[in-house]
């Protein structure tokens, strides 16, 4: 079972919006050196809505080859079209991904039965471990706990990234889910609490800029070492908050550029971080001792 700090890695780009593959390779090596437990490629933080199918596949292929078996690679393959999600998931399997992350269909707002049939269709079609991704704040679509638990019975559906930030909701899932079904946090600010309750890790934005600390916090929280987990999380908490002063991944790409790890490229409709937030991000980085 995958566990720990799974980074929702950014997609480095040149200033003109072209993919910066050399920087992605270097960033992957940086994460593995810093202790990151898994690479989640082409998720929301990886600007999946603005990469085309060929770029999507190139990014997955690059991650798989660069990681070279050192940590698991989880490919974002969700879509609001079931057929497209199946095609992307099959391609990720063919390219050697270890698992896939499937976001709830966005904008078209299916019913709970529609969600169940969508995810079941993907799981039936492609034999690869699949993690559901519930982020209603961005998709306008909420996978209920009851629907999640129905899907947990499928052998290819192994977990969920719960980005609701609701501890009550996460607790309900943890109490009712099968033992081999993993609940991962998708909300950095509440990730420690969810892990202390039994969550298996976090698919993290903060880990992009503070991978070592996020790994250490996850190790402590999963082991039940509350004192250590709280101390590390306290250093990270300003980042958990300020990395969302504008829509993700705008702030996190700005910090990575400040760290000298990527260039400043980002694709429209996203834009570079507004100047009014620069000092807040620098202060948050100082709290975590990363700048």
- Tokens 């570079």 found at: 272
Q: Which helix (H) or strand (E) holds 133?
A: strand 130-134
Residue 132, beta-bridge partner list: 102, 160
CB 117 within 8 A of CB 83: no
Q: How far is CA 209 from CA 11, 213, 223, 287, 291, in A?
A: 13, 9, 23, 13, 10
Non-local CB neighbours of 50 within 8 Å, separated by 6+ positions: 267, 268, 270
Task: Report the C-alpha dihedral over residues 266, 278, 139, 9, rounded to 10 degrees.
Answer: 60
Mean pLDDT score, 215-244: 98
Task: Tell me the C-alpha distance between 54 and 61, whole Å.
Answer: 10
57, 58, 62, 64: CA torsion to nearest 10? 10
Reply yes or no on whether the pLDDT at 66 is more than 90. Answer: yes
- Report which of 24, 27, 48 is spatially closest to residue 139, judged by C-alpha positions: 48
Nearest CA to 11 among 3, 2, 20?
20
pLDDT in tens, 70-106: 999 999 999 999 999 999 999 999 999 999 999 999 9
Could you read off the pLDDT of 110-153 as tens digits, one per residue? 999 999 999 999 999 999 999 999 999 999 999 999 999 999 99
What superfamily in CATH does domain 4-225 come from? Answer: Aldolase class I (3.20.20.70)
Average pLDDT on 52-78 reads 98
Could you state, in order of their start, the residue ranges of all structural domains in the chain?
A: 4-225
pLDDT at position 279, please? 98
Active site residues: 133, 161
d(CA 34, CA 29): 9
- Give SS3 for 73: strand
Within a 13 Å sphere around the CA of 147, how many CA atoms are in the beta-carbon half?
Answer: 19
pLDDT tens for 264-281 read: 999 999 999 999 999 999
What's the rounded mean pLDDT across residues 182-202?
97
Average pLDDT over the chain, rounded to whole?
97
Angle between helices 82-95 and 112-125 (to 10 degrees): 30
pTM for the structure as a whole: 0.96
> 62 pLDDT exceeds 90?
yes
Give just the sign of the alpha carbon dihedral 271, 30, 226, 191. Answer: positive
pLDDT above 90: residue 291? no
């Amino acid at each position: 079972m995958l566990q720990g700090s799974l980074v929702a890695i950014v997609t480095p780009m040149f200033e003109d919006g072209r993919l910066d593959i050399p920087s992605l390779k270097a960033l992957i090596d940086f994460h593995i050196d810093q202790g990151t437990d898994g690479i989640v490629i082409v998720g929301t933080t990886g600007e999946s809505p603005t990469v085309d199918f060929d770029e999507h596949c190139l990014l997955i292929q690059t991650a798989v080859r660069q990681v070279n078996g050192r940590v698991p690679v989880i490919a974002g393959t969700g879509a609001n079209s079931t057929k497209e999600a199946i095609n992307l998931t099959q391609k990720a399997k063919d390219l050697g991904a270890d698992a896939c992350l499937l976001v709830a269909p966005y904008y078209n707002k299916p019913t709970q039965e529609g969600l169940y049939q969508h995810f079941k269709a993907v799981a039936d079609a492609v034999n690869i471990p699949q993690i559901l991704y519930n982020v209603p704040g961005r998709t306008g679509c909420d996978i209920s706990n009851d629907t999640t638990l129905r899907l947990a019975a499928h052998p290819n559906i192994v977990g969920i990234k719960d980005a609701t930030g609701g501890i009550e909701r996460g607790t309900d899932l943890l109490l009712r889910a099968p033992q081999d079904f993993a609940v991962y946090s998708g909300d950095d600010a509440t990730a420690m609490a969810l892990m202390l309750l039994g969550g298996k890790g976090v698919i993290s934005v903060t880990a992009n800029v503070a991978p070592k600390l996020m790994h250490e916090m996850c190790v402590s929280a999963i082991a039940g070492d509350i004192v250590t987990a709280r101390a590390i999380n306290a250093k990270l908490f300003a980042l958990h908050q300020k990395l969302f002063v504008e829509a993700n991944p705008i702030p996190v790409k700005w910090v990575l550029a400040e760290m000298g790890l990527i260039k400043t490229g980002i694709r429209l409709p996203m834009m570079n971080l507004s100047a009014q937030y620069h000092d807040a991000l620098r202060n948050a980085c100082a709290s975590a001792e990363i700048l």
